[in-house]
């Protein structure tokens, strides 16, 4: 077996199955990441969605005993939507972040990694492999950085010169002594646009994210959204792209390469009001295949309510009142009450006053009172 030739063939094969970039990293432990993760844990900057075992996240040999190398793959996704529908008064729209457009990237990456595994197994019979995507133990970004896919940017994304940061990342640990790629030099330079533009100040210092303040994470939580974030979330239903869209390195990186990631505009920018009453079944049918639906409909509905408040969409007040009065879920009733107050119509004020008489849930009552307080403010103003 000529390993050098095999590696070249593997790279060529990867291109034929829609892998846009491939790199090879050593499977040495990720010591500096370990240090960073411990620090993040101490500061409570983690989202809670990540693998809790820092040892597993930083020691590839714990995941594959014979680990020697890690193959990192990147697939570009589009940043531009053709024929994007525009929300107008009376028909407002929300937005799913770009990483949720089209086919769920987990399945797209998994398919490619399985194809790669099959190719390797057919040509390298002694191969041992373990592939992972996003929810795997290793940090996709740390692997991609080491494999020279791109540099680890201040907005905490990996930026590739070819596709910007609009890339999905996955990796495969192997026992094959591939020739290793060099990490790429940082190209952020003095720029700090992402840090300054982040609506919540979640990028605390170059390359470090406080996930507890990041809108991308907050859109995925299931409880009440803390008050300070309710007005900054805007019309985001899932995820946040701000620190990517402002990045000069992403300019003109439209990446309309893979048809499966092209968004259905009606799903990526759906009308908000129908989301308020969508059934579980319909939600699953319409949005179930999108990466952004993985937490179910409740966070999306909460975010839709907040988006209507953001637009001060008066025509949505009757629907929001109905939610406040009838929805079984206290978080939805309470968020609707807050939104009714925020929009600030006379009809809303009357409904909040009445509801306060009968609402039994303490948290919901608090939200009704917050809603009513907006009226007091309005009168003062």
Residues with catalytic roles:
134
To the nearest 10°, report the CA torsion of 250, 252, 256, 262. Answer: 70
**Hey, how many other C-beta atoms are within 10 angstroms of the C-beta on 69?**
21
Question: For the chain, how many residues are written?
Answer: 381
3-state secondary structure of 184: coil
* Residue 98 sits in the site that holds ligand SF4 (CB under 6 A): no
For 46-67, the DSSP string reads --S-S-S-HHHHH-GGGTSTT-
In this structure, is the dihedral angle defined by the CA atoms of residues 38, 44, 46 and 49, taken in order, positive or negative?
positive
Nearer to ligand SF4, 29 or 234 (CB): 234
Q: Are 367 and 334 in contact (CB under 8 A)?
A: yes
Give the one residue of 69, 216, 301, 303 binding ligand SF4; rule: CB under 6 A. Answer: 216
Q: Which stretch binds ligand SF4 (CB under 6 A): 140-148, 208-216, 301-309, 337-345?
A: 208-216
Tell me the closest approach of the beta carbon of residue 356 to ligand SF4, in angstroms.
34
* Residue 191 sits in the site that holds ligand SF4 (CB under 6 A): yes
Q: Are 343 and 314 in contact (CB under 8 A)?
A: yes
Binding-residue pattern over the window 242 to 281 for ligand SF4, x denoting contact by CB under 6 A: xx--xxxx--------------------------------
Give the one residue of 67, 198, 308, 364 binding ligand SF4; rule: CB under 6 A. Answer: 198
* Residue 71 sits in the site that holds ligand SF4 (CB under 6 A): no
Tell me the closest approach of the beta carbon of residue 361 to ligand SF4, in angstroms.
30
Nearer to ligand SF4, 72 or 219 (CB): 219
Tell me the closest approach of the beta carbon of residue 195 to ligand SF4, in angstroms.
7
* Residue 200 sits in the site that holds ligand SF4 (CB under 6 A): yes
Q: Are 289 and 260 in contact (CB under 8 A)?
A: no
Nearer to ligand SF4, 59 or 236 (CB): 236
Tell me the closest approach of the beta carbon of residue 289 to ligand SF4, in angstroms.
23
Q: Which stretch binds ligand SF4 (CB under 6 A): 26-34, 86-94, 213-221, 335-343?
A: 213-221
Q: Are 147 and 241 in contact (CB under 8 A)?
A: no
For the segment 142-181, give every residue that binds ligand SF4 (CB under 6 A).
Answer: 153-155
* Residue 221 sits in the site that holds ligand SF4 (CB under 6 A): no
Give the one residue of 120, 132, 203, 323 binding ligand SF4; rule: CB under 6 A. Answer: 203
Report how far apart the first and last C-alpha atoms of the chain are (Å, whole number). 79
Max distance between CA atoms of the chain, in angstroms, equals 81
Taking alpha carbons only, the member of 77, 379, 40 closest to residue 258 is 77
* Residue 194 sits in the site that holds ligand SF4 (CB under 6 A): yes
Nearer to ligand SF4, 300 or 337 (CB): 300
Q: Which two tokens stand for residue 341?
A: 């107050």
For 217-268, the DSSP string reads HHTT--SPPPHHHHTTSTTEEE---HHHHT-GGGTT---TT-GGGS--HHHH
Nearer to ligand SF4, 154 or 310 (CB): 154
Q: What is the DSSP letter of 34?
A: H
Q: Please report, as ranges, the residues that interact with ligand SF4 according to CB under 6 A.
A: 153-155, 188, 191-194, 198-200, 202-203, 209, 214-216, 240, 242-243, 246-249
């Amino acid at each position: 077996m000529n390993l050098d030739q095999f590696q070249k063939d593997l790279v060529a094969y990867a291109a034929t199955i829609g892998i846009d970039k491939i790199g090879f990293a050593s499977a040495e432990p990720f010591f500096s990441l370990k240090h960073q993760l411990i620090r993040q844990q101490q500061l409570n900057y983690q989202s809670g969605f990540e693998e809790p075992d820092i040892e597993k996240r930083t020691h590839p040999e714990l995941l594959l005993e014979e680990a020697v190398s890690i193959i990192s793959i990147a697939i570009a996704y589009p940043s531009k939507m053709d024929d994007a529908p525009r929300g107008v008064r009376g028909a407002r729209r929300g937005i799913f972040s770009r990483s949720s457009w089209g086919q769920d990237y987990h399945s797209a990456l998994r398919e490619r990694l399985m194809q790669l595994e099959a190719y390797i197994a057919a040509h390298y019979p002694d191969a041992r492999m373990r592939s992972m995507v996003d929810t795997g133990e290793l940090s996709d970004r740390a692997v991609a950085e080491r494999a020279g896919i791109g540099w680890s940017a201040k907005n905490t994304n990996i930026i590739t010169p070819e596709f910007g940061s609009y890339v999905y990342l996955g990796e495969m640990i192997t026992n094959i002594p591939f020739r290793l790629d060099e990490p790429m030099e940082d190209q952020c330079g003095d720029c700090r646009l992402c840090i300054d533009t982040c609506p919540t100040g979640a990028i605390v210092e170059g390359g470090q994210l406080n996930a507890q303040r990041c809108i991308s994470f907050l859109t995925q939580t299931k409880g009440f959204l803390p008050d300070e974030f309710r007005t900054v979330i805007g019309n985001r239903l899932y995820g946040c792209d701000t620190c990517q869209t402002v990045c000069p390195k992403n300019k003109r990186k439209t990446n309309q390469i893979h048809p499966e990631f092209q968004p259905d505009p009606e799903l990526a920018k759906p009308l908000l009001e129908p989301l308020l009453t969508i059934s579980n079944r319909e939600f699953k049918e319409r949005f179930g295949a999108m990466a952004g639906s993985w937490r179910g409909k409740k966070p999306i509905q909460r975010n839709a309510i907040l988006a209507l408040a953001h637009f001060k969409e008066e025509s949505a007040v009757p629907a929001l009142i109905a939610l406040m009065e009838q929805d079984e879920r206290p978080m939805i009733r309470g968020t609707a009450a807050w939104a009714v107050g925020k929009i600030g119509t006379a009809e809303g004020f009357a409904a909040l006053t009445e509801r306060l008489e009968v609402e039994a849930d303490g948290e919901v009552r608090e939200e009704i009172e917050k809603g009513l307080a907006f009226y007091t403010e309005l009168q003062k103003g």
